[in-house]
Amino acid sequence: MKTEETIKTVDTLRVPQKGEILEGTVIAQDGMSFFVDLGPCKVGIIFGQEYQKARSILKNLKAGDKISAKVKEAENEEGYVELSIKEAMEETTWEKIKELKEAQEVFKVRISKVNKGGLITEISGIPAFLPTSQLSPVNFPKVPQGDKTEILKKLQLFMGKDLMTKVLDYDERAGQIILTEQSQEGENIQKAIQDLKVGDIVEGMISGIVDFGAFVKFSPAGTEESDQAAPLLEGLAHISELDWQLIENPSQVVKIGQKVKAKIIDIAQGRVSLSLKALKTDPWQELELKTGDEVKGKVVKFNTFGVFVQLVLPQKESQPKIQGLIHISEFGTEEKMKEALEIDKEYNFQILSFQPQRHWMSLRLKQAVKTGN
């Protein structure tokens, strides 16, 4: 925000300086020219491109209103001080944005536009973006399979609505402001989150499934389910934190309403990140395998860079879903790879590299052992 020293009322003893922000009083409008009283014997004018840029602002002003404007030209041929109200607003707004970010102040915005990535608003005429990922868990569009059309439909429900937000980041040079939502019940939730710590184990229920993970609702530690006063918290378990196996769809391992235990692995910007797999035994660490061993596996997925193979381990009642990769270079081309292997068929493979700490195994084909299931 500009200080009193930088927003000045011009007096008779000084000449306005180009780039300076001045305060004045609206005198009148004549066609596409707007006149501003800047003090004794000094009149400012907003016209031409500067009038067009600020048209939406100027239409709401009347004689006697106070405004701040930036000096574009100290004195033109007609003796007027040429002004820009748009640039003055932008400059003071960026100062305001900086202060809001530093103070982590919560403020209200009204959503004016929507796109597939999130919600659009403006702060004193400067566009601001609220990404879908920065919506509170309450407002996040929990759409199965991450259907973008359905997500957009849910986001469109926010058009014309007010949301409480904070400045997450900004770039004045690029003219970008990124916001993060602070939900209406945010104060109580934030207080409850402050009592949590990384490493805590929570019990909750799967409240939503999206393409990149699952949301878990849980009560703060030390509260009972019947405690109506306790805020219900919600955290996100990323798809990579749901299970030790490779997952393409979170619905493979969790269902809406399912009760789960999870470990808090991160708390940042008022959001809780959870892990379900952290409370499960890592099957990679139980494998008694080494580089050079022969194993049996089932082809589960082709990719442009190779093929994924799920191990079939002997004497295992519950088969851990551990996958290795045969790189496409083992076949030469994608066409030859698909000629050599078929989905859901089992083959013998040799381990080229086994790195359980990295959950990584590379394989090569030995020979077919079964034609199919």
Contacts of 100 (CB under 8 A, 6+ apart): 107, 166, 167
Q: Is the pTM of this model over 0.85?
A: no
pLDDT of residue 343: 93
CATH architecture for segment(s) 16-89: Beta Barrel (2.40)
Looking at CATH, the fold of the domain delimited by 189-279 is given as: OB fold (Dihydrolipoamide Acetyltransferase, E2P) (2.40.50)
The pair phi, psi for residue 250, each rounded to 5°, is: -55, -25
Contacts of 278 (CB under 8 A, 6+ apart): 241, 262, 263, 265
Which DSSP helix (H) or strand (E) runs through 191? Answer: helix 186-194
User: How far lies 195's CA from each of 188, 200, 218, 234, 268, in Å?
Assistant: 11, 10, 14, 14, 13
The pair phi, psi for residue 86, each rounded to 5°, is: -65, -50
Contacts of 248 (CB under 8 A, 6+ apart): none
Residue 312: other Cβ atoms inside 10 A: 15
pLDDT of residue 1: 46
Same fold, 189-279 and 283-368: yes
Q: What is 46-92 written as a DSSP string?
A: EETHHHHHTHHHHTT--TT-EEEEEEEES--TTS-EEEEHHHHHHHH
Q: Which residues pair with 330 in a beta bridge?
A: none
**CATH class given for the domain over 104-181:** mainly beta
pLDDT of residue 11: 47
Per residue in 252-286, pLDDT tens? 899 989 999 999 999 987 789 999 999 998 888 88
Q: Where are the domains of the chain?
A: 16-89, 104-181, 189-279, 283-368
259 token code pair? 């009760």
Provide the 3-class DSSP secondary structure of residue 9: coil
Report the residue count for the chain: 373
**Nearest partner of 259 among 199, 201, 203, 200, judged by Cα:** 203
Question: In CATH, which of 2.40.110.10, 1.10.3210.10, 3.30.470.10, 2.40.50.140 is domain 283-368?
Answer: 2.40.50.140
Per residue in 293-341, pLDDT tens? 999 999 999 988 999 999 988 765 566 688 999 999 999 898 999 999 9
C-beta of residue 109 within 8 angstroms of C-beta of residue 162: yes
Tens-of-pLDDT digits for all 373 residues of the chain? 444 444 444 444 567 888 888 889 999 988 889 899 988 778 999 999 998 888 888 888 889 999 889 999 988 988 899 999 888 888 888 888 999 999 988 899 999 999 988 999 998 878 999 998 888 877 888 776 667 788 889 999 999 999 999 999 999 888 899 999 986 566 667 778 888 999 999 999 998 888 889 999 998 764 554 444 556 788 999 999 999 888 888 988 999 899 999 999 999 877 899 999 999 988 888 888 899 999 999 999 998 899 999 998 876 556 668 899 999 999 989 899 999 999 999 999 999 999 998 889 999 998 644 444 4
